[in-house]
Structure 1
């Protein structure tokens, strides 16, 4: 059943490439801070493990070297970023950068994303390369990840963007 709020959400225009890029730059700055925090936590855990003698560190092999010796630290950081973006996409349809640029991620009918759609979108939008599809398909203004996940990124009105997580509609 489609609600009145979903009908309103579905009426907003699709976002263009430059607006998406601007929001992506904002989100990149936030993502850098999230990565720094996650790295600090990982370094603290490595320090605690070394203090408790679970791992052995030398002068040439410090905490950072221990963390980066295999693929696990990189996988950990990717999972942290996936959880960060996935949470915002699924809960409100807006990351911090998307909110600043009045963008909202939603289904074509205006409803929130499902977990499956969020995961599909995360897998297909790595490094923002899926957005380059818009340069070929500028009529529909949808990126590759939008097609794969069945979603769209819309530009909200100023009034609609002021509503906190769409609870007022």
Structure 2
């Protein structure tokens, strides 16, 4: 029986293109994940992203002020501030590029970040394929706007007829829930 949307009558699959035989996920798709599953995946990813950005900050900090990394008995102080070059727009752009590469790498590779894997969520374009780099960049930038607006872009899912957020719509991508594998569930 075809899936039902919460806002419409059942839709017929007549005339729909058959699913690819080699697409193992296409047979086991569920609807889009809810807001709280998305947020839980984001929390997982933020911890990993923080570690990546921390290391990425140490690299230019070391080259711009190596004396900050050398302990000397004469200078028994702690560095509390980064050099001015690490506080400007170039540094912020550098971090933004790293964030885009972080998410883009995972989304282009498997459609999932580590948090998305833990919460069984997968990102696809509207055709069910891996998103392009352009879609990844748009998604990261609009997701930042969604968060900056107090999370309104995420809460929008409750109002949208397809349960899509602002960045889903802007990047022409969709998140899908992946059901638990029944074989693995029986073993545990």
Query: Could you say which TM-score interval applies, normalised by the shorter chain?
Result: 0.7 to 0.9
| Cα distance in 1, alignment partners of residues 173 and 26 from structure 2 | 16
| Cα distance in 2, alignment partners of residues 102 and 37 from structure 1 | 28
Q: Which residue of 1 aligns with 2:73?
A: none
Q: Which residue of 2 aligns with 1:159?
A: 181
Higher RCO structure, 1 or 2 (CA under 8 Å, sep 6+): 1
> For 1:153, what is the secondary structure of its paired residue?
strand
| Cα distance in 1, alignment partners of residues 125 and 27 from structure 2 | 9
TM-score w.r.t. length of structure 2: 0.69
| Cα distance in 1, alignment partners of residues 86 and 105 from structure 2 | 27
Larger radius of gyration: 2
Q: Which one of 147, 159, 174 corresponds to residue 136 of structure 1?
A: 159
**Cα deviation digits, residues 102-135 of structure 1 (max 9, x gap):** 0000023321111221122122111634323213
Change in 2 beyond 3 A, CA 1:9/1:115: farther
Say what the alpha-carbon RMSD is for the aligned residues: 3.0
Q: Which residue of 1 aligns with 2:8?
A: none
Q: Which residue of 1 aligns with 2:105?
A: 87
Change in 2 beyond 3 A, CA 1:157/1:69: closer
| Cα distance in 1, alignment partners of residues 43 and 25 from structure 2 | 30
Shift of 1:7: 7.2
> Which structure is higher in helix share?
1
Q: Which runs of 5+ in 1 are unaligned?
A: 51-58, 163-169
| Moved >4 Å (runs of 4+) | none
Q: What is the aligned residue count?
A: 151
8 A Cα contact 1:106 1:113, kept in partner: yes
TM-score w.r.t. length of structure 1: 0.76
Shift of 1:8: 1.0
Q: Which runs of 5+ in 2 are unaligned?
A: 1-16, 69-76
